[in-house]
A and B are shown apart, each in its own frame.
Chain A
Amino acid sequence: SYELTQPPSVSVSPGQTVSITCSGDKLGDKNACWYQQKSGQSPVLVIYRDTKRPSGIPERFSGSNSGNTATLTISGTQAMDEADYYCQAWDSSTNVVFGGGTKLTVL
Chain B
Amino acid sequence: QVQLVESGGGLVKPGGSLRLSCAASGFTFSDYYMNWIRQAPGKGLEWVSYISSTGSTIYYADSVKGRFTISRDNAKNSLYLEMNNLRAEDTAVYYCSRDGSGSPYRAAFHFDYWGQGNLVTVSS
Residues of A within 8 A of B (CB): 1, 31, 33, 35, 37, 42-45, 48-49, 54, 86, 88-90, 95-101
Instruction: Report if B105 contacts A (CB, 8 A).
Output: no
When the two chains form their complex, are residues A96 and B47 in contact, meaning their CB atoms are under 8 A apart? Answer: yes
**Bound complex: CA A84 to CA B104 (Å):** 31
Q: Please provide the 8 A-B residue pairs with the shortest distance between their CB atoms, ordered closest to farther.
A: A96-B47, A90-B109, A33-B110, A48-B110, A42-B114, A101-B44, A98-B45, A100-B44
Q: Please report whether the interface of chain A is mostly helix, strand, loop or mixed according to DSSP.
A: strand
Taking the closest CB of chain B, its distance from the CB of A52, in whole angstroms, is 9
Whether A42 touches B117, Cβ cut-off 8 Å, given contacts A31-B110, A90-B109, is yes
B7-60 contacts to A, CB under 8 A, are 35, 37, 44-47, 50, 59
Chain A residues, CB < 8 A from B109: 31, 88-90, 96
For A89, give the chain B residue with the smallest CB separation.
Answer: B109
For A90, give the chain B residue with the smallest CB separation.
Answer: B109
**Bound complex: CA A35 to CA B112 (Å):** 9
When the two chains form their complex, are residues B112 and A45 in contact, meaning their CB atoms are under 8 A apart? Answer: yes
Chain B residues, CB < 8 A from A100: 44
When the two chains form their complex, are residues B110 and A45 in contact, meaning their CB atoms are under 8 A apart? Answer: yes
For A86, give the chain B residue with the smallest CB separation.
Answer: B45
Q: Point out the residue from A43, A48, A97 that lies within 8 Å of B108, measured CB to CB.
A: A48
Among A31, A35, A42, A88, max chain B CB count under 10 A is at: A42
What are 28 sample pairs from A and B whose C-beta atoms fall under 8 A apart? A1-B62, A31-B109, A35-B45, A37-B45, A42-B116, A42-B117, A43-B45, A43-B95, A43-B111, A43-B114, A45-B100, A45-B110, A45-B112, A48-B110, A48-B112, A49-B110, A86-B44, A88-B110, A90-B109, A95-B47, A95-B59, A95-B61, A96-B50, A96-B109, A98-B44, A98-B45, A98-B46, A101-B44
